[in-house]
Amino acid sequence: MKIALITTCLLLANTSALAVDSERATAEATYTLYRSSAMSGGSSSRIHIATFDAAEGAPYNSSNCETAKNLFMQKNSERSDYWCEQGYFSKR
């Protein structure tokens, strides 16, 4: 059930990313979900999970990112860290 909920959440995030550019959020209103990897780079790795850039704005995108993060953390069996950052994906 949790996997289905996570999948639905990510599908909704990806569907909003397909919107016309004029309907997308600015970088300041965008949030990106990342995770670490115990296998490659440990806690210093930055693996892109999803980008939340719906036109509804920063509070909406931040809330959806945090919800997805919490769902992933509940199902976390490999001890990865999950976190949200403001802006589009960055390798840093």
The 10s digit of each residue's pLDDT in 69-91 is 999 999 877 788 999 999 999 98
Q: Is residue 92 part of a domain?
A: no
* pLDDT score of 20: 43
Which structural domain, as residue segments, surrounds residue 63? 2-19+27-86
The total number of structural domains in the chain stands at 1
Q: Say if residues 36 and 44 touch (Cβ distance below 8 Å).
A: yes
- Give pTM, 2 decimals: 0.71
Give domain status of residue 91, yes or no: no
pLDDT for residue 62 = 98
CA distances from 50 to 9, 11, 31, 34 (A): 10, 10, 9, 7
The predicted-structure confidence for 5-42, as pLDDT tens digits, reads as follows 565 656 555 554 444 455 778 999 999 999 998 776 66
